[in-house]
Structure formats: structure tokens, C-alpha cells
Amino acid sequence: MTHGKRTEWEVVIVGGLGVLFLFLYYQQPYTVSALRWLGIQGAPAAYRDWNEYIVVSSIWLLWLPILSLAFFGKGELSQYGLARGDGKQGALWALGMYLLMLPVLYYVAQRPEFRAYYPLDKRVLTDPAYAVYFSIAYGYYLFCWEFFFRGFLTFGLYRWLGWWGVGLQAAAFALLHYGKPLPEVLGSLPAAFALSWLALRVRSFLPCFWVHWAVQLTLDALLILGHGAGT
């Protein structure tokens, strides 16, 4: 894929502000604490309000980038990976990446640090209906996440800075994993490069989303099964 030296200043500004805001936001012990300055009253401090978390995240990861491109961008959304692209090749690569992750997922599902952190909302362990709802809602969040990193940032920065731009995207991706289990934080950097390579190769971030969501669903399923076997 060739690229020109086109300055994507709206990607840098909106992307930088989004990463900074979300880094600070994600470090709050409970989502509602991050928005008290807005006067918003949320859930009790016993658990994170994931509905709010997903809404706030989607604003910064999807809607603000799309609006910035609509008003200041220099191309269609398809130029930022929101396209079918090479669907067949993308599906094959996505399947291959997912299959490679299966033994890793089985291993980490046994690790105490992962069992303590995941599932993100512990209610999915005991409430099947809520587990279905949360899986779909979190899938929407991951769609926004992949659009931002493997679409908006990857395609915009790659056109301007080449693989150095992809490196900036990968660093931001790893930064927003801070606070998760250390193996996941360390693995997020090569994962960001691999997913960006896939997005650029097939001209779409959609295969990256399918991989990311499938991995999350599989990990949660393993933890739910493990929880049921242990009760």
C-alpha cells in the first residue's frame, strides 16, 4: 500500500486528545467518579457502571473522530478503514489470528491475575441474560475501539508518517491498556502492529474488530465455564 505525505492534523489533534482523556478516564477506580465534575450521579461504588463507560468511550473513539472527518477531513470514511476492503482475505487472516490466540486464551484463563480482572463485569458469571447483553454492548465498544486505533489513527498516520505513524498508534494502544494484567499490557504492543498490518493489507479495520471481539468472547466464555465448574 503506497502513501503520500499528507498532513492529517485532525487525526493528530482528535486522536491525541482522545487518548489523553480516555487514559485519565480509564484510571478512575469507578467510572462514575470520573464524571462527578459534570454533576452526574451514577452507580454505587461497589462496581463500575459499564453502560456509562461504553457510552463515554464510544463518543471519543467513534463519534468525535467521525465528526472531525466530516467537517475537516480530506476523504471518505473508506480511506480510514471503514470499508469492506478485501473481505475474503480479511476473513482468512482474522480466522488465522484467532486460532493462534486460542492456546494463549486457554492459558491466561487459568492465571489468577486474569481471573481477578476478567470478566470485566462479574455479573456475567452468574446471570446468562446479562452475559448476552454485556457481550453485545462490549462488542459495540470494541468496534469503536478498532475504528479509532486500526482505522482513524492507523490509516491517517500511515499516510502521513508511514510505519512511524503506526508505531505512534501502537504506543497509544498500549498506553490505554495500562492497569490491565502485565502480560496483556506487554502483548498489546505487538498486537497493535499485527492488527494495523492486517487493516492496511485488506484496506479495512473490520477483520481486526472481528478478531478482537472473538478473543474477548472466548476469554469470557472460558472464565464463565471455569466459574461454573468451581461452584
Residue 45 has a pLDDT of 47
Lowest mean per-residue pLDDT among 24-28, 150-154, 218-222: 24-28
- Please list, in sequence order, all residues whose beta carbon lies within 8 angstroms of the beta carbon of residue 150, skipping any fewer than 6 positions away: 81, 169, 195, 196, 198, 199, 205, 208, 209
Rounded CA separation 66/146 (Å): 13
- Model pTM? 0.90
Residue 44 has a pLDDT of 46
- The pLDDT tens digits of the residues spanning 74-93 come to 778 999 999 999 999 999 99
- The pLDDT tens digits of the residues spanning 23-45 come to 988 887 655 554 554 454 544 44
Indicate the domain borders of the chain.
9-230
CA 49, chain centre distance (Å): 18
